[in-house]
Amino acid sequence: MAEKQKKRSEIEDKYKWRLEDIYASDDLWEKDFAEIKIKTEVMKEFKGKLTSNATNLQKGLEIYFDIDRILSKASIYSSNKKNEDLNVAKYQEMNDRLDSLFADISSEVVFVKTELTKLTQEEFNKFVKENSSLELYKFYMDEIFRLKKHVLSDDEEKLLAMSSEILGSPRNTFSMLNDADIKFPVLIDDKGNEVELTKGNYSKFIQSGDRNIRKEAFEKFNSVYMSYKNTFASTLNSKIKTDVFFSKIRKYESPIELALYGDNVEVSVYENLIETIHKNLEKLHRYFEIRKKYLNLQELHLYDIYVPMLKDIDKEIPYVDAVDMVKSALQVLGEDYNKNMNIGFESNWIDVYENEGKRGGAYSSITYDTNPYILLNHQNNLNSLFTIAHEMGHSMHTYYSNKNQPYLYGGYTIFVAEVASTVNEVLLMKQLVKNAESKEEKMYLLNHFMDQFKGTVYRQVQFAEFEKITHDKIQNGEALSADKLCEIYYDLNKLYYGENVISDDQIKIEWARIPHFYRSFYVYKYATGFSAAIAIAERISSGDKEALDKYLEFLKSGGSDYPIELLKKAGVDMSTPEPVQKALDFFGELVDEFERLMNEK
């Protein structure tokens, strides 16, 4: 009989986060909820006169960001309370009320951005001289001025806002088809039971040790998408055409420039990433050659690339031991980092174990006015060990940002968000490999990280290249039929996976099921962040004191500059191909070491 999940009341307090540090009671949350409404009414009084003088601008911006700050704090509390136990209706309702309030406030204060956009650089500089408190908003306003040339007239912006729901329909249609309407056939599992194939259990079947099961799952899963290929082609075409439409009316050279402009990232960064990957595809091809040999297969098919080469390490890693292992691996990050991280482990930042009704997965959540919070669902295994290191990386980035930046610049963009978490994972991996108790354990760890690298760098860049090709074709007036999309994707798959992998015909439809393609030119950030993190971790682990100092400065910088500039503080220049090349060299070393161990008698 399966072990019954514990109720939340049965979990020891030392293994639960202390959300009382945000609000000591729900009544205090209600007080802030009311305060948000009051401040919004005050904010509305600045409409039409926000930029009339320095005093109004300073007071208006102060209230505007106060509203955002309180909203953020209230949201973290209600969402975390909800996620503790999804069966508790009270916190579901609190969260829903806050969502509704946020929507109302957004429409009430939309005038702020409009009026700031009308302000000139010269007028703002004059206001700063009159009121030095406005110095705080200099970088924020620089961003407003940088984007200004792409902002339309009030009537045009209003029209676009009114049409946003219609223009977002391709993504919504894809989601409904992909998540609700599409149905998959039945297959026989390794115990002889009939099981309905789903998107959720597909990953389990494609990793099955029984080759017939994973082949059947691969073929049946993709055949369903193939039967809807024209519908999926229609939704993706519409999304790409929407991107082209927005880039034209906002006066960008291309949809990719529009997507990267917000982070102030040059298109050359995107292009350098693809070019550097192309120059290093032989490393991935060697990995597949080794996989083919290790699995002792005559042919390596696409349904063979996810099955683990080695069985899971049968090693119990209780939470207390996992914490000690993370602490040990991160000693190299210095005394101050470890002191503050230890406070996190000992001061109820973390909600550790599963309980009845608790949300699955793991995340780190941010509130500027308290410590970060981490939700885990810890299992005593290797994956959970890495999850602790990963989420603590996010939380320490948040901790340092909030301690060293004003609220306005405490947050940071997705471009840099995965750096700190991956640095921790790389440092943990290095220590685990160094201390491995057997050749098999070391090979398992190497394989774990090679697969992570393959999925986060090579696969995401393949997606990024597909996005660029398809957008370029639509922008140039070409048509993208379902068959053309399949052809583009299939050719890329053969390029990336090489001759050591049989590119099965069914893979050509994989583009149809990738939700990231409806958030255009986003996935490349996984690869750049991962590459930057490896470069940083390599330097720090070598004992480079200057590299550590630069990394800590980066953690403290929050969102006070553009992401490329922030990473330069950490000693990594992502405007050049060098960090990506170094990360790929690191991958090559992992492949070499695995092969050496594989051939060792």
Active-site positions read: 391
Please give the Cα distance from 535 to 530 (Å, whole number).
9
φ, ψ for residue 504, nearest 5 deg: -60, 145
Q: Are 407 and 425 in contact (CB under 8 A)?
A: no
DSSP notation for 359-426: --S-EEE--TTS--EEE----SSHHHHHHHHHHHHHHHHHHHHHHHS-GGGT---HHHHTHHHHHHHH
**CA proximity to 521, closest of 458, 581, 463:** 463
φ, ψ for residue 152, nearest 5 deg: -90, -175
Q: Which two tokens stand for residue 108?
A: 């009430």
Q: Which two tokens stand for residue 301?
A: 């098919």
Burial level of 375, CB count in 10 A (0-12/13-18/19+)? Answer: buried
- Which value, in Å, is the radius of gyration of the alpha carbons in the chain? 26
Query: Maximum CA pair distance of the chain?
Result: 79
Please give the Cα distance from 345 to 338 (Å, whole number).
10
Q: Are 527 and 580 in contact (CB under 8 A)?
A: yes
Q: Which two tokens stand for residue 322?
A: 């996992």
Please give the Cα distance from 431 to 437 (Å, whole number).
12
Residues 6+ apart with CB under 8 A from 133: 58
- 3-class SS shares of the chain: helix, strand, coil, % to 5: 70, 5, 25
* C-alpha dist (Å) from residue 456 to 363, 448, 526: 18, 12, 6
φ, ψ for residue 589, nearest 5 deg: -65, -40
Q: Are 441 and 591 in contact (CB under 8 A)?
A: no
Q: What totals of helices (H) and strands (E) does the chain contain, helices first?
A: 27, 5
Strands 194-196 and 186-188, sheet pairing: antiparallel
H or E element: which one contains 351? Answer: strand 350-351
Q: Are 493 and 222 in contact (CB under 8 A)?
A: no
